[in-house]
Amino acid sequence: MALALVPYCSYSLSDQIFGQTPNVAGDALAWSMSYLPAQAGLTISDVIYKYTAVKDPESDMLVHVQNKDLSGNGYIFRETDDWSGHPGNTIRKLVPVPDIPIQRWGAGSIAVEGQGSIEDPIVIYNWKYDTCFDPQSDPNCPGYKYPIPEDLINVLDYIKDPLEDALIQQELDRETPAETEEDEEERKLFQEKLEHLDKVERLLGGINASLVSAGAELTHERLLALNTLPVVYYKVLEGGSYSDALQYPKQTISDNQKGLRVGLAQELLHQQMVESQYSN
Amino acid sequence: MRNSILGSILLCGSGLAFAEDVPIEGMVESKCVVTSDTSGVYGNPNPYTLDTAPAQGGVHPIVRYDVIVADYYKALIEYPDAFSSSPGLDDTLTWDGVVSVNEHTDVGMADYDTEKVTYNNVTEVTLDHAGSTWFRVESDVEYGVEKSFPAGIYTSIVTAECIAL
């Protein structure tokens, strides 16, 4: 009862972990997504990029910062800067994306269309993940289910449902044939035969019983004639009844005066011995 | 009966005396924010020159304009034309400077360099794109005719304002 009053306390380790990649475009204008940590439930929330466009202000130039979509054709992320008619300069952007799972992010690249080039590119991905995305990763995660021990699993493997046995199922599935008129007549004849046999048995039973009694008496007489049986086998014990003869007379028992005197004398002697220890 | 009428008149009169002023308040936040991104440093490549150019040992100051709504503001940036604090100087100073777009978040902002208006030490740019623009301020000063600066700390101020159109 006391235990029932103890409040149940638990805590969860579920937490959002945030981070960002290094500059994935530092070596080349195309890159893989291996810079991201191999973490279940990881999503990308922002793409940050920066580059300097080098071009003639009059020329046309498109710059695409993009990632292929692994779940199909096309791109999961594509941001285009149209520099056509503009002088070159350094652009810096932070593009939010709606927490797209890492499974969809393919290889990334910066592609240039038209006349011009880019310098000093920087591309960074902001990522995050939930430490309890897989509840089984930690017993403190909400929704964690304690695994069943392997030995228990093996025991369960040996338990079989009898109804799944093929032979039993075959018997259960077998249909009972309907009783025909011929079967009904056979059953009645069989019942009549049984009743007839019963009467014969009763008649023979009485005759056999009388024959057995006569044989037993003859054997008994022969055994007595041989005088080999102990006497106790056929000695008749005399019966009768024994009445209760115990009676206590009603009288008064007097006190034992002699014992009293002895007791008092011993007490007196004991007192004298005790006092003799303090007399000196 | 007379007393009751008189009482009603008095009550009406007292009701008229209760007037209430109901205020309406509103707060306007600027849709243009100016932030000092990088503090400048003067390099001293020779005894008579102070320069913020990295090649001269300096650092250009950078100021960022964040504009939420386009076409409602203009940037007004002044490069220094005097020291705010310095050792005592008894000769003329020759100031020079340039304000230019360093970085931006919208491609159209690259045109600010060609669209800007400059006079004296002032640069005006109409902020006709929403987003952030980093303006780089270059500043250099020469003392006298190749005259050595006295030793000490020299400080100058870049003024950056966002003015509603």
Amino acid at A52: T
pLDDT at A174: 80
Using an 8 Å CB-CB cutoff, list chain B residues near A86: 107-108, 110-111
Q: Greater confidence, B73 or A157? A: B73
Q: What is the pLDDT of residues B6-50, one digit of tens each?
A: 444 444 444 456 788 888 888 888 889 999 999 999 999 999 999
- Choice among A250-259, B1-10, B53-62 with the minimum mean pLDDT: B1-10
Query: CA–CA separation, A92 vs A32, rounded Å?
Result: 21
> DSSP letter at A178?
P
Residue numbers in chain A where pLDDT is lower than 70: 1-14, 151-153, 155-156, 178-179, 206-212, 280
What is the secondary structure of B27-65 as a DSSP string?
----SEEEEEEE--B-EEEETTEEE--GGGT-B--EEEE
Q: How far apart are CA B33 and CA A60, in angstroms?
A: 32
For residue B105, pLDDT beyond 90:
yes
Contacts with A123 (C-beta within 8 Å, 6 or more apart), sequence order: A23, A24, A25, A31, A47, A48, A49, A65, A108, A110
Closest Cα of chain A to B67: distance in Å? 14
Pick from B38, B102, B103, B107 the residue to mutate for testing the A interface (most A CBs within 10 Å): B107
The vertex-B105 CA angle with B80 and B32, nearest 5°, equals: 60
Of residues A50, A81, A94, nearest to B107 (C-beta): A81
If phi > 0 it is left, if psi is from -120 to 50 it is alpha, else beta; for residue A143 that is left
User: Quick check: B146 pLDDT over 50?
Assistant: yes
Instruction: Determine the residue of chain B that is closest to A52 in CA distance.
Output: B103
Q: What is the pLDDT of residue A152?
A: 67
- Residue B94's beta-bridge partner residues? B142
Measured between CA atoms, the residue of chain A closest to residue B108 is A86
Taking an 8 Å cut-off on Cβ atoms, the answer to whether A89 and B105 are in contact is no
Q: Which of A50, A91, A94 sits opposite B107 (nearest CB)?
A: A91
B interface residues, A as partner, C-beta within 8 Å: 101-111, 113-114, 132, 134
Residue of higher predicted confidence among B165 and A232: B165
ipTM of the complex: 0.72
Chain A residues in contact with B110 by the CB 8 A cut-off are 53, 83, 86-89, 91
List, for residues B74-102, the tens digit of each pLDDT value.
999 999 999 999 999 999 999 999 999 99
Mean pLDDT of B111-140: 95
pLDDT over threshold 70, residue B2:
no
Taking phi over 0 as left and psi of -120 to 50 as alpha, with beta for the rest, A96 belongs to beta
pLDDT at residue number A207: 65
Q: What is the pLDDT of residue A280?
A: 61
Burial of B132 (0-12, 13-18, 19+ CB in 10 A): buried
CB-based contact A87 B113, cutoff 8 Å: yes
- Which residues of chain B make contact with A81, given a CB cutoff of 8 A? 107
CA distance B114 to chain A (A): 9
pLDDT value, residue B3: 44
A-chain residues near B111 (CB < 8 A):
86-87
